[in-house]
């Protein structure tokens, strides 16, 4: 019977679930049928003396701030504190090929037929099938069941590109910024869009870290969530930052980024007034940061994610260092992050190119 509830799942030994939290992880009860077979990496944010309760039966490791400081030493400065950006420490200490990260206020959603959505399974499907970044397929994911490439899709492009990122969406509370939350406090997302699609090459998107999976071997070192929270002038731009960098590097290395299914149920909106305080500089800065990432060009000899990231940090500091000293700190932290990544992942550091420069 147990096997019908918990069938041997896909990628069981190749995927870690990373959860940043400051509270008890009761939300895992609802995910038990889907998550229990996998290993969890829990990043405890805030006061390290507080005890986080993890429901019984889950296989996990937990890191608090003391652990992060002990493991990274001075390089721990690149990991944010009092902000869910700390989750990227989990990406770094994982030894698995794939990562799924989810917020602790996200629950199992239902599809229009009322069936509970196994979000992780859909992410795995997304990651294991190619992407189509070079030409748009109007019937969405051509690798999905019952779909294909439509008339006029070049045959030379039908093998697609390896998928590095699967960005899932949210029913109920949409991921709005503080101004939109303030203007539309009652808006709920009830639209179930039954599609997965590739974000075309050259197009940026707002990547949300709430329900996100990626191939660590292909793109891990780009999934740095920046300097946010305690002691920093902004918050709530951690995932956006990671999304801009990741997309630019995926485009350069010929990797794909998908968005759409799966949905999770986002249970509660964070406080818009608190959010506004965290966001306001980001709202202002993104008007210049996004055009920078839209225009940035990486040289051909950047053949690994690490090389791309270091190059990005250089160009970023050159352009924005004089705008605000925070950007100098962030640019330096990008370098520290890569050094720490390579220290904890020595084989990856010496590895072959992640992909061909395109």
Question: Minimal distance in Å, beta carbon 289 to its own copies?
Answer: 9
| Site map (CB under 8 A) of its own copies, residues 37-76, x = contact | ----------------------------------------
CA 323 to chain centre: 27
| Candidates 31-39, 65-73, 131-139, 323-331; binding stretch for its own copies (CB under 8 A) | 131-139
Compare residues 44 and 259 and give the one whose CB is closer to its own copies. 259
User: What ranges make up the beta strands (E) of the chain?
Assistant: 15-21, 39-44, 59-63, 98-102, 106-107, 163-172, 196-198, 211-215, 256-266
Q: Which residues contact 309 (CB under 8 A, 6 or more apart)?
A: 221, 222, 224, 245, 249, 334, 337, 338
Q: Which of 236, 266, 307, 317 binds its own copies (CB under 8 A)?
A: 236
Within residues 246-265, the interface with its own copies by CB under 8 A covers: 259
Q: Which of 53, 66, 138, 271 binds its own copies (CB under 8 A)?
A: 138
Compare residues 190 and 347 and give the one whose CB is closer to its own copies. 190
Q: Which of 177, 217, 332, 343 binds its own copies (CB under 8 A)?
A: 177
- By CB under 8 A, is residue 242 in contact with its own copies? no
Q: What is the rounded CA–CA span in Å between residue 166 and residue 209?
A: 11
Nearest to 305 by CA among 92, 63, 79: 92
Task: Residue 88: count other Cβ atoms within 10 Å of its Cβ.
Answer: 27
Strand, helix or coil for residue 299 = coil
DSSP, res 77: G
- By CB under 8 A, is residue 287 in contact with its own copies? yes
Within residues 179-218, the interface with its own copies by CB under 8 A covers: 179-180, 184, 187-195, 197, 199-208
Q: How many residues bind its own copies (CB under 8 A)?
A: 58
């Amino acid at each position: 019977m147990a096997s019908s509830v918990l069938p041997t799942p896909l990628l069981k030994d190749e995927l870690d679930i990373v959860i940043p939290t400051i509270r008890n992880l009761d939300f895992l009860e609802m995910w038990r049928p889907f998550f229990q077979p996998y290993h969890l990496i829990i990043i405890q944010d805030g006061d390290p003396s507080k005890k986080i309760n993890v429901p019984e039966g889950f296989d996990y490791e937990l890191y608090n701030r003391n652990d992060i400081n002990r493991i990274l030493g001075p390089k721990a400065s690149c990991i944010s504190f009092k902000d869910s950006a700390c989750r990227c420490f989990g990406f770094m200490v994982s030894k698995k090929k794939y990562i799924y990260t989810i917020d602790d206020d996200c629950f199992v959603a239902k599809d229009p037929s009322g069936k509970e959505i196994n979000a992780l399974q859909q992410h795995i499907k997304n990651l294991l099938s190619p992407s189509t970044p070079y030409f748009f397929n109007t019937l969405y994911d051509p690798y999905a069941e019952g779909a294909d490439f439509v008339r006029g899709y070049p045959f030379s492009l039908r093998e697609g590109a390896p998928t590095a990122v699967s960005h899932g969406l949210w029913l109920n509370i949409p991921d709005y910024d503080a101004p939109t939350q303030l203007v539309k406090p009652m808006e709920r997302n009830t639209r179930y869009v039954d599609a997965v699609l590739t974000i075309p090459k050259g197009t940026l998107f707002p990547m949300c870290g709430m329900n996100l999976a990626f191939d660590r071997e292909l793109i891990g070192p780009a999934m740095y969530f920046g300097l946010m929270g305690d002691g920093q002038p902004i918050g709530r731009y951690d995932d956006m930052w990671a999304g801009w960098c990741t997309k630019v590097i995926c485009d350069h290395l010929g990797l794909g980024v998908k968005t759409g299914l799966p949905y999770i149920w986002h249970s509660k909106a964070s406080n818009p007034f608190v959010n506004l305080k965290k966001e306001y500089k980001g709202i202002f800065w993104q008007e210049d940061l996004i055009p920078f990432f839209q225009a940035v060009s990486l040289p051909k000899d950047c053949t690994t994610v690490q090389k791309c990231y270091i190059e990005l940090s250089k160009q970023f500091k050159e352009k924005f260092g004089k705008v605000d000293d925070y950007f100098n700190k962030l640019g330096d932290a990008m370098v520290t992050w890569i050094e720490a990544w390579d220290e904890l992942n020595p084989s990856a550091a010496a590895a072959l190119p992640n992909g061909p420069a395109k």
